[in-house]
Amino acid sequence: MFYRLAGVYHTTYAGERKLWPVPADRWQALGVLALGLLAPLLVGDLYLSSYLLPWLVWTAAALSLTLLMGVAGQLHFGFAAVMAIGAYTAIHLTRFGVPFEIALLGAGLMAAAIGSLFGAAALRVKGLYLVMATLAMQYLVDWTIINVPAISGGAQATLQAPEVSFLGAPMTNDTVQYYGALLWAAFLTVFIMNIKRSAFGRALVAVRDKDFAAAVIGVNVFRYKLLAFFTSSFLGGVSGAVLAFCYYEAVTPEQFSFDVSIQFVAMVLVGGLGSVIGAYLGAAFVLLLPIVLTNLVAGLADSGLLTISQNLQSHIPLMAYGALIIAFLLFEPLGLAKIYDNLRNYFRVWPFQHTRN
């Protein structure tokens, strides 16, 4: 019924490799984009700046990470540190009067340089040892930022983001910030989808599936692993800068702590490794579910339906978040992307279930 494949004929190679070969998918993507563009008119300022905006920025970060973890198969438990490098670089560059557009580029390059430096060091190992090495990287970057006053602006300091404008639009009001985040998320979506169907992406997938086998068929494993770290860190650095300018409007080291790194990994896993739509769904789930749950419990407690202590109430997001990760890994290891795929397959033949083989 929906997502119909009837009438979709590929007469050219280019047509067969389109991003959305099925018209229904294309319309759906355009519809979501239209909703995203109209969102400032549809929802209130509060929802826009405290739900939609962080969702988009976190999605952008999850997309950058899923390129590394899902497509290239390199585990990274220090992605928040990469974003911190980007955020601090962008803030310092703009404070020196560099235009925001160039500062974003500088943020990406700085994050990519340091990120691939660590990547190169960690590339002798894989799996668990890569997890540990990137975890150590997270602590090192954290410590450097906190203890070098030239970067953090002194102990316990918060660096305010200067007022900047992007392509002529001042990044101070909520709507412009929202569109900035939307632009970046949309760009990343198309970018990652294109990487996945390019020779570069296929080489990364070969490395992910078995690096020795990839080497045998002529993929330079070291080069592609390094490129994956470089690309992903670049995108992560820019995402960090976008996070700092569009959402927090300031930077402190705590915004990029180890727990945030774990959050990104959880988003990628809950969404589904290597999936673009999974990054959106995973970010929404991991970021928004604890907030929604907290509000729900707080509402119930306020209305007297539920009597729990303040202390327990404040720990519920943490419990929900942990239980969420465990539940997804146990019951749906392929993540929300798989659930979406199942639904899509169901509706594709609905109501003629028997035609599904």
Partner 1 sequence: MTYFFELLINGALTGLMYALAALGIVLIYKSAGVPNLAHGAMIMLSAYFIYIFASLVGLSLWLAIPIAAVLMFVFGLVAERFLLRRMVGQPIIMIVMLTLGLEILLRGVAPGFLGAAPKSLDLGIGLAPMIVEGVFINRAYLYGAAVAIAMIAVSLLFFQTRLGTKLRAVSDDHVSSWSVGISVERAIGISWGLAGVSAVAAGALWGSVQGVDWTLSTLLFPAIAVVILGGLDSIWGVLVGGLLVGILGSVVPGYLDPLVGGGTRDVVTSLIILVTILVRPYGIFGREDIERV
Residues that bind partner 1 in the complex, under the rule CB under 8 A:
69, 75, 121-122, 124-125, 127-129, 131-133, 135-137, 139-140, 143, 146-147, 155, 210, 212-213, 262, 265-266, 269, 273, 311-312, 314-326, 329-330, 333
Taking the complex as a whole, the smallest distance from the CB of residue 251 to partner 1 amounts, in Å, to: 19
The residue to which tokens 């390059």 are assigned = 109
State which residue, 146 or 291, has the beta carbon closest to partner 1: 146
Nearest approach, Cβ of residue 262 and partner 1 (Å): 6
Residue placing its CB nearer to partner 1 in the complex, 47 or 143:
143
Among the listed residues 289, 290, 270, the one whose alpha carbon sits nearest the alpha carbon of residue 279: 270
Question: Is residue 306 a contact partner of residue 296, using CB atoms and an 8 Å limit?
Answer: no
Strand partners, 169: 166
Tell me the closest approach of the beta carbon of residue 344 to partner 1, in angstroms: 24
- In the bound state with partner 1, the residue whose beta carbon lies nearer, of 141 and 164, is 141
Which amino acid would we find at residue 274? Answer: G
Q: Which residue has the tokens 């340089």?
A: 113
Sign of CA dihedral 321, 324, 329, 335: negative
* Residue number with CB closer to partner 1 (186 or 324): 324
User: Smallest gap, in angstroms, from Cβ of residue 29 to partner 1?
Assistant: 29
User: In the bound complex, what is the minimum distance in angstroms from residue 127's beta carbon to partner 1?
Assistant: 5
Nearer CB in complex with partner 1: 15/127: 127
Work out how close the CB of 327 gets to partner 1 at its nearest, in angstroms, rounded to a whole number.
9
Residue number with CB closer to partner 1 (162 or 317) = 317
| Residue 183 or 293 with smaller CB distance to partner 1 | 293
What's the first-to-final CA gap in the chain, in angstroms?
Answer: 16
Residue 198 Cα to chain centre, angstroms: 21
For the bound state, the minimum distance from the C-beta of residue 217 to partner 1, rounded and expressed in Å, comes to 12
Cα–Cα distance measured from residue 169 to residue 181, given in angstroms and rounded to the nearest whole number: 13
State residue 165 phi and psi, 5-degree precision.
Answer: -130, 145
The stretches of the chain forming alpha helices (DSSP H) are 13-16, 23-42, 45-47, 53-66, 79-95, 100-122, 128-147, 149-152, 174-196, 199-209, 211-216, 221-242, 258-271, 276-302, 310-331, 335-349
